[in-house]
Amino acid sequence: MATIPMGLRILAIVLRALFIGALVAVTVRVSSPQSESLASVYETPGDLIRLALGFAVCLWIVIHLFMPPRTAEGYRTWVYLGLVASRDKASIHLAALVNHP
């Protein structure tokens, strides 16, 4: 097993945590009930199913947050994925600012 450089390890862990955090935030937003509050989630079966699935997905994602990559290639993959995701996120924010009236 090859040793993983400390800089690569730190960068990959930070970018991976940011990516997974953004994924959890999007999942929470998408799975939130369409009604006004969480207390009224039982009124609509669709909201209850969406909330339960969202909770399960978030739990699965958070569990995987604490499972670090095992190889140097895994760390490199997370660095590349994190950089691409942050570039795309920045361009989305820029587009929102440009299109904002």
Global pTM? 0.72
- pLDDT for 80 equals 85
How far is CA 46 from each of CA 24, 53, 57, rounded to the nearest angstrom?
20, 11, 16
**Over the stretch 30-84, which tens digit does the pLDDT of each residue have?**
888 776 666 676 777 888 888 899 999 999 998 988 898 888 888 888 888 888 8
Burial class (CB in 10 A: 0-12, 13-18, 19+), 12: buried
d(CA 27, CA 54): 6
Reply yes or no on whether the pLDDT at 1 is more than 50.
Answer: no
Any idea of the CA torsion for 42, 47, 49, 52, to the nearest 10 degrees? -80
